[in-house]
A = this chain, B = another copy of it.
Amino acid sequence: MLSKKAKYAMLALVHLAKHQDEGPILISRIADDEHIPQKFLEAILLDLKKDGVLASKKGKGGGYYLIKEPNEVNMADVMRLFDGAIALLPCVTYKYYERCEECKDEETCGIRETFLEVRNETVERLKSATIAHIIATEDSLSKKK
């Protein structure tokens, strides 16, 4: 399962993209609008800033804003930032690779092969899910309704 952190981060990013033309957005506003505990959100936005997705301005008129284009920020990266690996087994991750202690032969492990395929599909799908794509999806879902 996605952590609350990752989920909140995604909501905040979509919010920031939607209000990109309004200058810096207050943490308190995002927290209110998206129903996220403010103090918790502060830490999340800070992480996104350290990761180079957002920037902030202090003092009056301050707030957070996107510094990447909405089509350059994808859910795979967000998920990795907050929840670590996307794969369901440590032996099929790239960045977080870890051998399974109980594994006899990784190269011929059928379970590994299965979860490698799942991982690849998921990563591909999440990479194509950019903020821009999510907003477009929401527009299209709204029209149908």
Contacts and interface: CB of A to CB of B under 8 A. Distances in A.
A14 B104 CA distance: 13
Contact of A110 (B115, B117, B134): B134
User: Which interface class (under 10, 10 to 19, 20 to 34, 35 or more) fits A?
Assistant: 35 or more
Interface in A44-100: 75, 85, 87-90, 100
A126 interface: yes
B1 A90 contact: yes
Contacts of A117: 125
A117 B141 CA distance: 14
Q: Which of A2, A90, A110, A141 has the most CB of B within 10 A?
A: A110
B101 A35 contact: yes
